Structure 1
Amino acid sequence: MTYIFTYNLMNDKRRKKFSVRGMNVMIYFDYAATTPMSNEALKAYIEVAQKYYGNTNSLHDLGAQSEQLLEQCKGTLANLIGGEREGIYFTNGGSESNMLGIKLLLNQDNRKHIIISTAEHNSNHQITRFLELEGYKVSHIPFTRNGQIDIDFLKYEITNDTALVIVQHINGEIGTIQPINEVAEICKRHDIFLHVDCVQSFGKIDLKNISPVVDSLSVSSHKIYGPKGIGFLYTNHQPTTSLEQLILHGNTYDLPGIVSFTVAANEAIELMESEKKQLIELREAFIEQLEPIKEFITIYENKNQKQLPSIIGMAIEGIEGQWVMLECNRQGYAISTGSACDVKYNQTPNTLRALQEDEIKAKGFFRISFGRQTNMNQVKELGRFLVAMTLQYKGTVELNP
């Protein structure tokens, strides 16, 4: 089935029509990139947009009602991570949260050395590259073969000038869970700030043992079935300047988005354990389907159970990940070749660089990620297709169109 959306756009006071022709409905395996809004989150967005339209900064009753709702959302989200309401600052997403968290912590320290995982999201690497131009020294920490940061390397890189360590809680390309508590102990011992990117972990694993031991953490709504364009920074530090003024720049809070995000977050936490069980079953079934080609595949994962089950980062020997993605797309399966930020610019995934894979093997990487709407039949179907595709590529069987 195809569909056409028609929009009326205003440009130079002339009304134009802009048509977008959609593709056939696909089976979605890219939940690590983004998720569809849940029904409850969408309902909340519409209701708040219609009923709580007062500006939260206005002094009249409508503004006061909106402000009260805003504060309730802060309290709810803080409670979900085991934090304090005063530490929540709404942003336009994970990247802005990362930027603000890093700037906040560096503004409170005169030291000029930063340690960052090589596998970090590009938003963090972009920030540190800019900071290098301002005179900061940046050290990059590789991964072990288990997909976790090399703790010994981290300890080795610490100097008297180290101000900040930046670590992603869950890697967005292979789903490995980082030892945040161990990193936090090291940072505390050396009086170093710690910023943690929790964009992939919020709503999927409990953060209540993480928020008290870090100095700041970032979260995004669209990874947990909420709207795009909303996130928050949480910090245990009182800012020296008003973060809200820095974020808003005189603009108005997107209250419908914030409430919708909060509803989605509540849903995610309530469903966390049951979804985890389902996702483990889907992961096991998918890998079982790949048994006929196991000699050709590499699955990048943590062998010690420090693994988010919904993300499978893998490669098929001798086949480029881009080709696999295009073949899957042709057959109606939406997968990825890594973080959307890397894919757009055809860059080697940061995770593969952190794992120190050679360039040829890194080009074979692709990512499959499951979500709330993924079912067992879809997972097995994708697995069977990858097997048939691989055997055809290797010249073993014919692949039916």
Structure 2
Amino acid sequence: MHNCPVEAIGVVLREPRSRGTVVYVDYYSLEADEEWQLSFSLELFQSAAYNYNDATSILKASNQDSLPSVWLVRGIDENQISRRGLRTLRCEEFQAKEDIKITENQWVRIKAYLLAKRTEEKALCKFFKRCGKCKTDCNFRHYFITEAEQNWAQVSSMKRAATLSPGHYADNSKSCRHDIFAAWLVSTLGIVAKSNVVLDIAGGSAGSLSWALWRHGFETFIVDPRAKLGYSRRQRKEIQKYNAPPPTSLPIYFDHNFENKYHQLLTRTSLIVGLHSDEATEQIVDYAIKYGTRFAVVPCCVFPHLFPHRRISINQSEPLIQRPVLSNRDFEQYLISKHPQSIRIAHLNFQGRNAVIFRDHPSEPMPHHSIAVPVDSDHVAVAVKGDRWREEQVIKEKQRAATTHH
């Protein structure tokens, strides 16, 4: 029955995983004797005090003598199945039941189920799911097991295609995107490399785009908390070959702290770039407008839950009627609307998210232009909050264990 309330007790099969503000849990119902997929809000799951370190999951408990913890679940049956054919529940309560222990018979059934799962088919290849074929002979599965899985793949591909830019599919693979973007910047923006500074925002630990621009003669700065301060063997050889100072790594987030600390660098910057710069994408555009700088960004993820303020007009005839920015096309339109007189869009010749939003000439600075920030103050740009929260949970568990020991 659709939206039917459900209450059950069971055990966690695998380690929970987070996507944005949603946490997914593979759960084995002891009453129904089957596996379910549960979804929680991140806030609700944090309040449940799930412990990653003890034997709360089957995968950990099955390798030792201890039994897994039992969890009470209350939620709503979504009347849908997951891509693995599991019943899905949207949960409103998740509580450990220390007074309930599973029986030996239940434990035997659960371990038998887990063993059967381990010997099942391989996971579905994501390229086969999207395109019906895989260019490489990968180790994943290239066929559908059930009709439900095939239907799920078709619906997923249709939803994804609806959000893609017209030039999404191109000839070159993603591995070439840094060199292609760098060559496009040089040819399209017409910037002379000499004495021009480029900020590569969220360039990653490798700073591949910065190094590609550096080979064209630019002075580049990698702005990313993950940026490496040293150089690989190949990079050291390139430094000797080109006989030029290498890209500078600035392990810091691109926010107001960066602006305060590197204000002089921002004022002499000729170009701000971001290739799949995640949460920092809008900030690149905002700071470029504020300082009157050229910029070019290739948007990737939208993060509507972190930036609910984003709105675009439903149509040009009724600009006051607006809707939230949810898809990549919406995001591209939203970024252009920040300064439509100067901001344009193009598409690069590599596969994947390849729409580039750019301004090819400097303009008058707008010192009072506001900078977008995520609504979650604990969330930082270019960081995976789920990983950060998980690290915090491990620290809290260690502190709790130390307190209990004393």
Place the TM-score, normalised by the shorter chain, in its bin.
0.3 to 0.5
TM-score, length basis structure 2: 0.35
More strand by share: 2
More helix by share: 1
TM-score, length basis structure 1: 0.35
Q: Which has the higher contact order (CA 8 A, sep 6+)?
A: 1
